[in-house]
Amino acid sequence: MSVILETSKLKKNFYAKHALRGIDLKLENGRILGLMGPNGSGKTTFLKIIAGLQKSSGGTFTVNGKPAGYETKKTVSFLPDKNTLYPWMSSMDAIDFYADFFEDFDRNKAIDMLSFMKLEKTDKVKAMSKGMIEKLNLTLAFSRRASLFLLDEPLGGVDPVSRERIVSTIIKTWTEDSAIIISTHLVNDVEQIFNDVAFIDDGELILTGDAEALRIERGKSIDQLYLEIFANR
Amino acid sequence: MGRKKNVLLLLAIFGILNVIAYAAEIGGTITDINHMNSMLGFWVVNAIGATSIAPIVMFFLCSTGHVSELLYKDSSYLMLTVPRHGWEILGGRFIAGLVEFLACAIPAGFLLSIHAAILLPTLSSDRVNPLMAFARIYQQVFIVNFVPVAQILLLGLCAFAIVGTFLNFAVVASRSFVKNKGIATAVSIAVFITVINLATQWGGKFSNNFNWYWNIDSFSGLMNNGHMPTMAIPIASVLFFLAIAAALFAAASWLMEKKVEL
Amino acid sequence: MSEFNPNIPIYIQIMNSIKQEIVSGSLKPGDKLSSVRERAETLSVNPNTVQRAYQELERESVSETRRGMGTFIVEKETLISDLKSEMAQAVMKTFIEGMRGLGFRDDAIKQAIDRELDGGQTT
């Protein structure tokens, strides 16, 4: 059992707004964590800090024991909720781009995944639908042999069939040595792949735990639990 | 890759623009340049003007390697998650910018030299045909006066790097601590002007005191009667600027790695 | 959570479905179980969950892992009948508890069963 991600009192302030109020989280290898909360609760901010796009205002975190920085970027794969590829790129261009920049990128895996996702190598990003871009970005993020995968709303704006493919890909990519954090609203579609869950509201973790244990303890699905928790806040 | 298309488009436009101008010029020189049709004259002036101004504009646009685009558009997400040091990213973009600038400036220079080959002979006493003038221009620039030309190009490269570094520092700073693009731009322009003034003054004084000058003077005759004056470049100023640029590059790289946020 | 009951741990539900397959004959003693990953993908569940199910099955001596080859259903003659009675017992327990919850006493329960089996006429 090794700890892939550990955060200690992680804080983030945007001028007066407290986006994160001291998050303590521990994620072990082989685990998939579901990070759930309403819009503006801090999910994306949290993931961006771990990915290196934002800097924390306080607290620390380590990935595989290493503090945030150049080293951690090598082992963290971030899938943002918006498209970050250049419009003129084709799927193949995007793969080449990633291959250039990330040592741990597996080209062959990416090409295989492209066909699994039913994407053509020559399609250009500007001609792709939202769902196709999401699938391409997922392909790129998951073709890296990273220690930590951060997926920010990977299922948003995607049709149900594609959603299934994405969930399938997540399971396929899962390895014993890595950990995955998925932030999502569409809890119902993915809750059975979560090992751990964390509910966040207004920058604070209000409930964390083992998904199975919580289901039995509360006698309801995580989806229902989410409704219960957030309906009254 | 998207940029490659833009550059090629630009070159194509200039190519066409200038070819028409050449036709006009040659027509004009054959008859009598003073009586060139005013519309054609207008075209010629435009072509030469555009071809001269474009590289100057590109100089400023490309010196930063489009880093501002990097930091303000969505595609920058990718750049910031990539395991590359700040200096690698900024340095790489600078080189790309340089290549882009040269891709525009060299063809522009070539096009302008054709204009010179056609027009200059009309100003001097000996009637040389354009082809010979063309050959002679290149001979003068690249062979006879090779050393001073190389020196000037080196200075140009330094200027390019200095301008780029200054501008990039402002952009990176704006994304790390000032946040407001408008304020950051205003502040950096003010700092830019101040620093340049100070550096020029101090550098000039310094060089004066120690008589530290770089004399670019080995020009030999252009057009038989031409004689370029000696250009005395105060080295201290140049070194001063390069030192500041190096410091700013280091600062920008550090900011890029440690402080930039999206 | 479409196919799973939220009140019962998923790994137990997986175990039960495998036991069901053995009892019904679709899985025979000696058959190889699909790999953890394959089953996880098919069911859209976390591989850890499948792993736990497989481990529990092994602990219950329903399956065994052969190094380098995978997980197999044990070749025990009595396996099917054992499972059948174990699962039947669970069904009966739930039924009896339910009937008692409705106020039926043991005799009445037996009578209700007979009636139901004869032709489904309960008062």
Task: Give the SS3 label for residue B233.
Answer: strand
Pick the last residue of a domain from B144, B169, B200: B144
| Chains A and B touch, using 3 or more CB pairs below 8 Å | yes
Looking at the structure, tell me whether residues B209 and B245 fall in a common domain: yes
C5 within a domain of the structure (yes/no): no
Answer whether A192 sits within 8 Å of C8, measured CB to CB. Answer: no
Looking at the structure, tell me whether residues B128 and B152 fall in a common domain: no
3 state SS for chain A: CCEEEEEEEEEEEECCEEEEEEEEEEEECCCEEEEECCCCCCHHHHHHHHHCCCCCCEEEEEECCEECCHHHHHHEEEECCCCCCCCCCEHHHHHHHHHHHCCCECHHHHHHHHHHCCCCCCCEHHHCCHHHHHHHHHHHHHCECCCEEEEECCCCCCCHHHHHHHHHHHHHHCCCCCEEEEECCCHHHHHHHCCEEEEEECCEEEEEEEHHHHHHHHCCCHHHHHHHHHHCC
User: How many CB pairs below 8 A link A and B?
Assistant: 53
Length of chain A: 233
Total number of domains in chain A? 1
Total number of domains in chain B? 2
Which of A:82-101 have CB within 8 Å of B? 82-89, 93, 97, 101
Q: Which residues of B touch A136 (CB under 8 A)?
A: none
Q: Which residues of B touch A97 (CB under 8 A)?
A: 78
Answer whether B78 sits within 8 Å of A102, measured CB to CB. Answer: no
Using pLDDT thresholds of 50, 70 and 90, give the confidence band for residue B229.
low
Is B102 a residue whose pLDDT tops 70?
A: yes
Is the CB of residue B80 less than 8 Å away from at least one CB of chain A?
yes
Please write the tens of the pLDDT for every residue from C58-111: 999 899 988 888 889 988 888 888 888 988 998 999 999 999 999 999 999 999
Q: Please say whether the beta carbons of B148 and B219 come within 8 A.
A: yes
CA-based nearest distance B257→chain A, Å? 8
Looking at the structure, tell me whether residues B151 and B140 fall in a common domain: no
Using pLDDT thresholds of 50, 70 and 90, give the confidence band for residue B224.
very low
**Chain centre distance of CA B42:** 26
Domain that holds residue B158: 146-262
What's the CATH number where A204 sits?
3.40.50.300
Q: Which residues of C touch A164 (CB under 8 A)?
A: 44
What's the CATH number where C31 sits?
1.10.10.10
Residue A198 has what pLDDT?
95
C64 within a domain of the structure (yes/no): yes
Is B147 a residue whose pLDDT tops 60?
A: yes
Looking at the structure, tell me whether residues B135 and B197 fall in a common domain: no
Q: Which residue stretches of chain A have pLDDT < 50?
A: none
Using pLDDT thresholds of 50, 70 and 90, give the confidence band for residue B84.
confident
Structure tokens at B141: 């620039």
Answer whether C49 sits within 8 Å of A219, measured CB to CB. Answer: no
Answer whether B261 sits within 8 Å of A54, measured CB to CB. Answer: yes
Looking at the structure, tell me whether residues B238 and B151 fall in a common domain: yes
Pick the last residue of a domain from B144, B167, B199: B144
Q: Which residues of A touch B259 (CB under 8 A)?
A: 55
Using pLDDT thresholds of 50, 70 and 90, give the confidence band for residue B232.
low
Task: Give the SS3 label for residue B111.
Answer: helix
Residue B112 has what pLDDT?
82
**Chain centre distance of CA A64:** 17
C123 within a domain of the structure (yes/no): no
Looking at the structure, tell me whether residues C40 and C15 fall in a common domain: yes
Looking at the structure, tell me whether residues C68 and C112 fall in a common domain: no
Looking at the structure, tell me whether residues B171 and B112 fall in a common domain: no
CA-based nearest distance C69→chain A, Å? 19
Looking at the structure, tell me whether residues B74 and B177 fall in a common domain: no
Looking at the structure, tell me whether residues B170 and B91 fall in a common domain: no
B240 versus C25: the higher-pLDDT residue is C25
Please report which residue ranges of chain B form alpha helices under DSSP H: 2-31, 38-63, 67-72, 76-81, 86-123, 130-138, 146-173, 181-210, 235-258
CA distance B205 to C1: 78
Is B215 a residue whose pLDDT tops 80?
A: no
Please write the tens of the pLDDT for every residue from B190-205: 777 777 787 777 777 7
Domain that holds residue A220: 3-231
Looking at the structure, tell me whether residues C16 and C65 fall in a common domain: yes
Answer whether B82 sits within 8 Å of A93, measured CB to CB. Answer: no
Looking at the structure, tell me whether residues C32 and C64 fall in a common domain: yes
Residue A1 has what pLDDT?
82
CA-based nearest distance A223→chain B, Å? 31
CA distance A88 to A127: 9
ipTM for this model: 0.78
Please write the tens of the pLDDT for every residue from B9-65: 888 888 887 777 777 677 665 555 555 567 777 777 888 888 888 888 888 888 888
Residue B8 has what pLDDT?
81
Looking at the structure, tell me whether residues C65 and C85 fall in a common domain: no
Q: Give the list of residues 6+ apart from residue B31 with CB closer than 8 angstroms, or none.
A: none
Q: Please say whether the beta carbons of C37 and A171 come within 8 A.
A: yes
Is the CB of residue B181 less than 8 Å away from at least one CB of chain A?
no
Answer whether A84 sits within 8 Å of B78, measured CB to CB. Answer: yes
Looking at the structure, tell me whether residues B128 and B210 fall in a common domain: no
Please write the tens of the pLDDT for every residue from C38-65: 999 989 899 999 999 999 999 998 999 8
Domain that holds residue C20: 10-73
Query: pTM for this one?
Result: 0.79
CA-based nearest distance C11→chain A, Å? 9
Is B212 a residue whose pLDDT tops 90?
A: no
Looking at the structure, tell me whether residues C26 and C50 fall in a common domain: yes
Total number of domains in chain C? 2
Looking at the structure, tell me whether residues C69 and C85 fall in a common domain: no
Structure tokens at B136: 């002679």
Residue B223 has what pLDDT?
43
Looking at the structure, tell me whether residues B73 and B131 fall in a common domain: yes
C81: how many CB neighbours lie within 10 A of its CB?
A: 11
Give residue ranges of A with CB < 8 Å to any C CB: 30-32, 164, 167-168, 171-172, 174, 188, 191-195, 212, 215-216, 219-224
Please write the tens of the pLDDT for every residue from C3-30: 788 778 899 999 999 999 998 889 888 8
| Chains C and B touch, using 3 or more CB pairs below 8 Å | no
Looking at the structure, tell me whether residues B134 and B152 fall in a common domain: no
Using pLDDT thresholds of 50, 70 and 90, give the confidence band for residue C1.
very low
Looking at the structure, tell me whether residues C26 and C61 fall in a common domain: yes
Nearest to B74 among A54, A76, A82 (CB): A82
Looking at the structure, tell me whether residues C88 and C65 fall in a common domain: no
Looking at the structure, tell me whether residues C109 and C90 fall in a common domain: yes
CA-based nearest distance B234→chain A, Å? 41
Answer whether B259 sits within 8 Å of A89, measured CB to CB. Answer: no
Is the CB of residue A133 less than 8 Å away from at least one CB of chain B?
no
Looking at the structure, tell me whether residues B10 and B122 fall in a common domain: yes
